[in-house]
Amino acid sequence: MALDAATIEKLIKAGLPDARITIEALVDDDNHWSAHVVSSAFKGKSRVQQHQMVYRALGSRMGNELHALALQTSAPEE
């Protein structure tokens, strides 16, 4: 099983509606992705908490259908 970029983006957006998301393929196998997520919801949160918020949006898929998602998260700059 694999997830395409549009699905990943949709899932993250559902959890973090204001997120700006850039997704790139690390390998052309629909299974190794890199995502940069910028959301105001990340303000004041630690990196671990920011990634947990993205993982929560992806639900049980992370680590299952979605084997690898390299994550970079940040709050928008003022």
- Residue 68 within binding range of other proteins, rule CB under 8 A: yes
- Select from 11, 19, 51, 57 the one that contacts other proteins (CB under 8 A): 51
Count the site residues for other proteins by CB under 8 A.
13
- Residue 2 within binding range of other proteins, rule CB under 8 A: no
**What number of CA atoms fall less than 13 Å from residue 7's CA on the CB side?**
14
**What number of CA atoms fall less than 13 Å from residue 72's CA on the CB side?**
9
* Residue count (the chain): 78
Instruction: Extract the tokens encoding 39.
Output: 């959301």
Region near other proteins per CB under 8 A, out of 4-12, 16-24, 37-45, 52-60 = 52-60
- Select from 62, 76, 77, 78 the one that contacts other proteins (CB under 8 A): 62
Query: Edge-to-edge, what's the strand order for the sheet holding 32-38?
Result: 20-27, 32-38, 68-74
User: Which residues make up the interface to other proteins (CB under 8 A)?
Assistant: 47-48, 51-52, 55, 58, 60, 62-63, 68, 70-72
